[in-house]
Amino acid sequence: MKRDRMYRYGQGLAAACLLLGMALPAAAQTRVVMLGTGTPVPDSHRAGQSVAVVHDDKAYVFDLGDGAIRNAIRASQDMGIEALSPTRIDRVFFTHLHSDHMLDYPALLNTYWWRRDHHVEVYGPPGIEAMSQGVYQMLAPDIAARKAGNQPISDPAGYRANTHAFRDNGVVLAENGVRISAFKVSHGEVKPAFGYRIETPDKTIVLSGDTAYDPHVAAQARDADILIHEAASQAGLSALPAQWQRYHHAAHTPSDAVARIANQARPDKLILVHNLFYGADEKSTLTEVRKDYEGDVVLANDLDVFE
């Protein structure tokens, strides 16, 4: 929903609540919580990629890079976003299966699994079932030991996920006023790789996932409130050896191309994540995008919340 419409909706809701003496339903407001803004490059301040969209006390989590579950625990315990408590996360969507997007999948299925009373639903490209089987294998000694003892277990299969793999564009989940669609993006040799469009009653959010410049992202984000896009620093990229430059150009979006996408889509807010700065100043990417794009743009940090 665009800002002016959202404002009118908010005003109407506030007036109705005032009239009826009710508190405003704050939980219904959609929030975007950054659980990981990093890349494969080790970074002490940034977990691997993970974005949570929280609507009506329910979290929809996109990717689970290393450290994402630790940040989810911080969000639930220190920031009061209870929907991000690990045993409550049961809607997970993968853009693709590069390690910086899935290393904390075992952490999600493993953490406190004996307290989980239902399975996690997992959506993503082919490969998510094999990845899940690998996690069960990894957990086998823990599962066997806990089941063999006197430990109470909510659901003996609570560590398992139901996987929903897909190869093409389309709606992957619609529930409780939330509609999530996947669309293909261009991530080098990774095929298919997906971005997601998330529509809730008060916001439309588009997540590029990892992608080279791809006009499909702009088309999906044309009426979005928030576009979350990956970005690569041109200053950093131009200093790399030629072979690395070729690799990154085929798989990632340099800052001038991010600005081009943003100028086509005109989102209310552009959020940069997965910032590949290759040893240049981390902020160079943001400065470069701002050169060609005058809209609202920020470089996200872990545990930033956007409403």
Give the footprint of Zn ion on this chain (CB under 5 A): 98, 100, 210
Of 36 and 267, the one with the shorter C-beta distance to Zn ion is 36
Of 39 and 163, the one with the shorter C-beta distance to Zn ion is 39
Amino acid at 235: A
Bridge partners, residue 161, by sequence: 120
DSSP string, the chain: --HHHHHHHHHHHHHHHHHHTPPP-GGGS-EEEEEE---SS--TT-PSSEEEEEETTEEEEE---TTHHHHHHHHHHTS--GGGSGGG--EEE-S---GGGTTTHHHHHHTTGGG--SPEEEEESTTHHHHHHHHHHHHHHHHHHHHHSS---S-TTTT-EEEEE--SSEEEEEETTEEEEEEEEEETTEEEEEEEEEE-SS-EEEE--S-SS-HHHHHHTTT-SEEEEEEE-HHHHHTS-HHHHHHHHHHS-BHHHHHHHHHHH--SEEEEEEEE-TTS-TTHHHHHHHHH--S-EEE--TT-EE-
Q: Quote the least distance from Cβ 209 to Zn ion, whole Å.
A: 8
Of 210 and 302, the one with the shorter C-beta distance to Zn ion is 210
Bridge partners, residue 272, by sequence: 229, 299
Q: Quote the least distance from Cβ 229 to Zn ion, whole Å.
A: 13
Q: Quote the least distance from Cβ 155 to Zn ion, whole Å.
A: 33
Bridge partners, residue 152, by sequence: none
Of 81 and 261, the one with the shorter C-beta distance to Zn ion is 261
Q: Quote the least distance from Cβ 102 to Zn ion, whole Å.
A: 10
Of 49 and 200, the one with the shorter C-beta distance to Zn ion is 49
Q: Quote the least distance from Cβ 104 to Zn ion, whole Å.
A: 13
Q: Quote the least distance from Cβ 105 to Zn ion, whole Å.
A: 14
Of 120 and 273, the one with the shorter C-beta distance to Zn ion is 273
- How many whole angstroms separate alpha carbon 139 and alpha carbon 212? 36
Q: Quote the least distance from Cβ 25 to Zn ion, whole Å.
A: 36
Of 27 and 131, the one with the shorter C-beta distance to Zn ion is 131
